[in-house]
Amino acid sequence: MQPISNTSQIIEEITKLTYEWYKLIGPSHHKDIDCHWYVETRWSYGDQPKYFVRHDGYILRDVIIESNSYEESLRELEFFLRSAINQEKEFIESIKNENDEW
C-alpha cells in the first residue's frame, strides 16, 4: 500500500479505521472508552512541542506513543489501529474455532 502523504487523507483513513474498530468490538462486551483515540500536543519549558497518541480502554490499555510532529502521530495512530484491528480479528477467529456459540 502506498503511504498517505496528506494530513486530511490520513485523518479520513483513521476515521474509517475507528469505525471498523467499533464495528469489530461492538458485538462483544466493551465500554465506551474502548472507542476513543487521542492525539495530544504538549508544550513544556520553551522546548519544541511533543505529540502523543493516547488511548485507554478495557480491550487495549494505556496506549501512549510519543512523536515529534502531528503528522507523525497520525501515521502512528493509523499503524496502531491497523495492527489492533488485525489482532482483534485473529482473536475473534480463534474464539470461533474454540466455541461455536461465539
pLDDT of residue 1: 47
- Give me the residue spans of the domains in the chain: 7-95
Q: Mean pLDDT, consecutive 10-residue segments, the chain of 102 residues?
A: 71 97 84 91 96 92 93 96 95 76 53
Contact call for residues 45 and 30 (beta carbons, < 8 A)? no
Q: Specify the pLDDT at position 5.
A: 60
